[in-house]
Amino acid sequence: MRRDISFKTEDGVTLRGWHYLPDGRTGRVPTIVMAHGFSAVKEMYLDRFAEAFAAAGLAALVFDNRNFGASDGEPRLEIDPWQQVRDYRDAITFVQGLEETDPDRIGVWGSSYSGGHVLVLGAIDKRIKCVVSQVPLASGHDNALRLIRSDTIAAVRGLFDADRRARGAGEPPAMIPVVSEDPAGPAALPTPDSWTWFTETGRLRAPSWKNEVTLRSVEMFTEYEPASYIRSISPTPLLMVVALGDVLTVADLALAAYEKALEPKKLVTLTGGHFDAYVNDFAAASSAAADWFRRHLLAA
């Protein structure tokens, strides 16, 4: 069963999403808190993951990140990773207060950018009893160096500086496309598979998705280091799902981060690329996550 929900963050922004409950629920149930990655909205396959968790006997709270989709927030289309981490924590507070939720059995699931967020959350918020991080961003700095040509890095930093000066003078933030059909064109996520997935998924499933973010969002991406928290997740159980063909949140950085995590932990590898986790490898990714949550939340 799915119903629409909304809740306010500590700073008063209304976030909106869905609350899923398993069929035949009796009493309070473990609940998974979920949000999407860089610029994506909940209709971009998060419903399928939440349905898989509900079928496994778990509740799920799915919400759009602030400034995107159905959620409020200004400036629109801006991604502040630390604000998104705080919003996850407010979502946990909200869902713990629902009569259907067992407040002592909360899990978090994230993918891509939010796959990095849940690494931070698992370390800093011990209300969380289980973590699943799918195709995660491990290091914004190192990942950016894989996506930005070395001969253009100085020019990109110059754009960040110019945008900062313009904002300081009262001008609106500069914008950049999320994806581009031209691999050499300006884009926050400059890979061919990013263009294909975002444009096709947006057209078929998520008309509210916009192919634009603030340039400042990209600057904040380069400063974000979620894997620096990974050793502190323990003793909370961590499952990491890595796509071995991932060239966006590149696989070797995620695998290196996993090696630094302490037990209990588990690694599941997928054969495809970054976006196959949502489509071609969905069955493997969702079943691994559901099994991990069932093991550590339903058995608790």
CATH number of 27's domain: 3.40.50.1820
- Would residue 149 count as lying in a domain? no
Let me know if residue 69 belongs to a domain. Answer: yes
Q: Per the domain annotation, does 79 fall within a domain?
A: yes
Total number of domains in the chain: 1
Q: Answer for the pair 218, 190: CB distance below 8 angstroms, yes or no.
A: no
18 in a structural domain: yes
pLDDT in tens, 87-109: 999 999 999 999 999 999 999 99
Q: What is the pLDDT of residue 198?
A: 98
**Domain span at 37:** 2-139+226-298
Residue 300's pLDDT is 56
DSSP 13-73: -EEEEEEE--TT--S-EEEEEEE-STT--TTTTHHHHHHHHHHTT-EEEEEPPTTSTTS--
Identify whether the C-beta of residue 152 lies closer than 8 Å to the C-beta of residue 138. Answer: no
The answer to whether residue 194 is domain-embedded is: no
In a domain, 115, yes or no: yes
DSSP 225: -
- Identify whether 185 is part of a domain: no
CA neighbours within 13 Å on the CB side: how many for 259?
6
Two structure tokens written together for 289: 């996550």
Mind listing the pLDDT tens digit of every residue in the chain (300 residues)? 999 999 999 999 999 999 999 998 889 999 999 999 999 999 999 999 999 999 999 999 999 999 999 999 999 999 999 999 999 999 999 999 999 999 999 999 999 999 999 999 999 999 999 999 999 999 999 999 999 989 999 999 999 999 999 999 999 999 999 999 998 889 999 999 999 999 999 999 999 999 999 999 999 999 999 999 999 999 999 999 999 999 999 999 999 999 999 999 999 999 999 999 999 999 999 999 999 999 999 975
- Please check whether residue 67 lies inside any domain of the structure: yes
Q: Which of 14, 239, 256, 222 is nearest to 118 (CA)?
A: 239
